[in-house]
Chain A
C-alpha cells in the first residue's frame, strides 16, 4: 500500500461514490496494517555508530613515521533481504542511509587543561600551560573505500587506500579550553549529510590536525565519537508471506496482526447521507477513530505488540559497535603481550592464547543480520607489520547469553569465524577488505592497516541460506518475549550442525561478543625460537572492533 489518491472535485461535477467513498475505502485499507514509511510524517529511524576509545595518546598520534591517525572502521551493508550477493548493487527498494551528524567528546578532567598519556610518569595528570592547551587539536576525516574483494585487479596497490574523503572536521583547541561559560567538549557537529555507499568500507580517521609535538605526552581519554545516521523505516522480518522468518524468532510475535478498518460503501444511486451506516460522517468517523486511537507497530521490550497493527514498515537499521582489546596504551607485540589477559598468567605457562569479551544487555528485541570483525595492526611505527603466521589463529564469536541472576545458564551461538591459520594466504582469501594507512604496504604483510572480515551467522548442515559477502545463515532474533505460547524458530547450536530448538529456550538476556587469538605452537611471547619479534603486531593501537548490523523495531509506547 502506498499513499492514497483521489479524484478531485471540479466545479459542476456530479458527485458519485468514487469521489467520496473510494478515498475512504483506500484509507481504511491503508490503516489495515499497510501504512508505509512514506505515509508517516516522520518515517525515518535513527541509528548511531559509536566508538569509545579509552585512550588515544600522543605516543601514537605524534610518533615519527607512524600513521598519525587512528582508523575507526564501519560498514553500512544492506540488510539481508536487500543484499545483492552477485552484483553488490543497490536498487530503489534498498533503504538509503544518510550520515547526518557527529558527536565527539572526551574526558578532560572537567577543567581547561590537557591530560597526560598512560605511558607518561604523570599519567592522568593535568597541565594548563599554553603548549598543553594547544595540544587538543582533533581532526576527523570520514573516508570511503571500495573493499578489496570487489577489485578485479589484485595487484593494484590503490585498492589498499581509501578513495574518497567525504567529510572532515577539526576541533580546535579553543573548543577544549573551557571557561566558566561553555566549552565545546562534548559537541555535536551537524551538516555531514552524506548518503552512505552500501557496499563500501568507511574509516573515520582521527588524528592531530597540526601533527605537532604539543601532543606528544598528552592523550584523549575516553574519547567518544558517534555518527548519527538516518534511514527509512522498513518491513520487519517474519511478516507472514512477505519476509523470511529469522532463526530463534518467536514466530507468533513476528507475524503481523493487521488491524481491520472497514468502511461501508452505499448502494449505487443512493443519496449521500451523513449519519447512516453508509454515511459520510460515519465512514470518516471510522478512519478518525483508528487514527485517534494511535497507529501501532513495533514491539515493547518483551516483543509484546498491539493486537491491531496498522503500520507495515515498523523496523529500522541498527549498528552496534563493540570494542575489543581496547584500552591498551600501546599496540601489542610479543614484547608487550603480557598486557593482555591470560598470557603467561601468574607464571603458569599459558602463553598461547588471550581473549576479550563484551556483554551487551538486550533491551528491545533485535534481529542480527550481519556481523563484521575488524582486525587492526595500527602502530606508531612504519616498520611494524600485522602478525601473520601459519600457527596463529584468530577466533571471533557472537552469542546470546541466558542465566543472569537466573537458573538456565547457557549460550546460543549466533555467529562464528575462525581464521586458522591467520596467515597472509588465508587472510587474503577470507577478508572483505584490507586497508593500509601508509602508501607502501610492507612486503609480505600489512603495515598500519585494518582487515575486515565477515563473521558468518550460523547456518544448518544443509548449507548457507542467508545473504552476505560470504556464505552465512539467515538473520537471528535476539530478545526477550512475553508468554510461552510463542515457540521459537529453530537454529543450529553451532555453525554447520542440524537445526534444533534454541539453546537459550527464548530466555536470552544479553549479546556476548568474544575475540580470542593465540599460537599453540610458538606461544605469543618473545623467547624460544622460532618466535615473534617486536615488529609483529598482534593487536593494533586502539584494539579491534566487532560491528553488529541489526534490524530494530519501533518501540516506546504502551499499548
Chain B
C-alpha cells in the first residue's frame, strides 16, 4: 500500500525508519487531518435559494400594470414620447424565445439579474404560475381558442459574455425552455385540486396552475459571471392571453437554487 494523500513519505521493509522521516510523515498527516483540503471532502456545497414573486393586480382592476414585465424588443416604440432613444445595443433582449407558432414576435419578459464572483452551480429553476380553484381572480386555464394547450411560455437562463457583456446576442444560453406544451407542466394532471388544510386558508384555494420546473440542471456559473433569468409570456391578443390583462391571470413565483462551495473565513 502506497500513501497518496497525507504524505509523500513511504515506509517499506529494508528502508530506513528514522526519526526525521517519521517526523515529516506525521507532520504531513497532522496538517492533512487538521486542515482537510476541499478536494478530500465528498460533499462540499451548500444550497441557496433566491425567491421572487408578486400578486399581479387582478383583472378587472382599476388599472393594470405591466412592470416588472417589459417588451422583449428595444425599438422606437419603446422610447418615451419626446424622449431620447438609446444606442439600441440590444434590439432583441433575449436569445432563444422564438415561437414555433409565430416566429419571433414581441413578448413580455420579466428579467431577474444576478452576479457572482465565485463559481457556483445553478441546480434548479422553478417558475410557478399559480391560478385559482375558486373565485378565479387568477383564472388562466392555459388553453387556446382551438382547445390546444398553449406552448408559448418561455424560461431562459442566459450568462453574459465575459468579453462583450453588454451584447445580449453574445450571451451563453445556459437554459432555454420554450415551445413546450404546458399540459405537462400542470400542477395536477386533473386540473385544480381544492385542498386547503393549512392556515391561513386561501380565498382562491387549492393547487392549480403551472409549475415549470427545471431540476437537476447543474449549470456551471463561472467565476465573476453575470446571469439573468428571463420569463417570457406572449403578446398575442389571442385566447387565453388577451393583451395586457394576461399578465394578471396568474401569480408568478420564481425560485432559483444555486450551490456554492464551502469556503474560508473572511
Contact = CB atoms under 8 A, between A and B. Distances in A.
**Interface SS of chain A: helix, strand, loop or mixed?**
mixed
Contacts of B68: 54-55, 107, 221-222, 327
A230 B263 contact: yes
Interface string B8-49: 001111010101001101100110111111101111111111
Given A129-B84, A274-B11, A395-B199, A186 B226 contact: yes
7 contacts: A5-B30, A52-B52, A107-B110, A126-B78, A127-B79, A355-B204, A556-B259
Contacts of A451: none
Contacts of B262: 40, 42-46, 233, 316, 554
The interface size bin for chain A is 35 or more
In this complex, the member of B116, B128, B199, B204 whose beta carbon has the largest number of chain A beta carbons within 10 angstroms is B199
A407 to B, nearest CB: 9
A213 to B, nearest CB: 16
Contacts of A9: 19, 22-23
A112 B130 contact: no
Contacts of A224: 50, 52, 112-114
B147 interface: no
B158 to A, nearest CB: 10
A359 interface: yes
Contact of A4 (B33, B41, B85): B33
Nearest to A399: B198
Contact of B202 (A40, A119, A280, A514): A514
A381 interface: no
B148 interface: no
B87 A110 contact: no
In this complex, the member of B54, B189, B224, B257 whose beta carbon has the largest number of chain A beta carbons within 10 angstroms is B54
Contact of A116 (B30, B74, B80): B80
Contact of B42 (A46, A118, A557): A557
B117 A188 contact: yes
Contact of B46 (A46, A118, A280, A350): A46
Contacts of B130: 357, 359
**Interface SS of chain B: helix, strand, loop or mixed?**
loop
A512 B51 CA distance: 12
B259 A180 contact: no
B83 A39 contact: no
Interface stretch (B98-106, B161-169, B172-180, B235-243): B161-169
Interface string A410-422: 1111001010000
Contacts of A52: 50-53, 112
A280 B40 contact: no
A128 B46 contact: no
A15 B87 CA distance: 78
B107 interface: no
A41 interface: yes
A193 B264 CA distance: 13
A378 to B, nearest CB: 16
A274 B12 contact: yes
Interface string A251-293: 0000000000000000000001111000111101101110110
Contacts of B86: 111-113, 126, 128
A340 B45 CA distance: 39
B230 to A, nearest CB: 10
Contacts of A219: 67
Nearest to A120: B80
A412 B22 CA distance: 58
B1 interface: yes
Given A122-B81, A284-B7, A363 B197 contact: no
Contact of A339 (B42, B61, B80, B187): B61
A405 B187 contact: yes
A443 to B, nearest CB: 31
Given A183-B166, A188-B117, A405 B186 contact: yes
Contact of B203 (A232, A284, A512, A516): A516
B57 interface: yes
B46 A318 contact: yes
Interface in A18-59: 19-20, 23-24, 27, 30-31, 35, 39-48, 50, 52, 54-55
Nearest to A124: B70
B213 A361 contact: yes
A280 B11 contact: yes
Interface in B232-263: 251, 253, 255, 257, 259-263
Contact of B43 (A125, A188, A298, A416): A298
A388 interface: no
Interface stretch (A61-69, A76-84, A97-105, A139-147): A97-105
A358 B83 CA distance: 38
Nearest to B264: A42
Contacts of A46: 46, 48, 260-263
B113 A105 contact: yes
A340 B55 contact: yes
B25 A284 contact: yes
In this complex, the member of B71, B81, B186, B203 whose beta carbon has the largest number of chain A beta carbons within 10 angstroms is B203
A14 to B, nearest CB: 10
B193 interface: yes
Contacts of B186: 405
A387 interface: no
A60 interface: no
A428 interface: no
A379 interface: no
B44 A27 contact: no
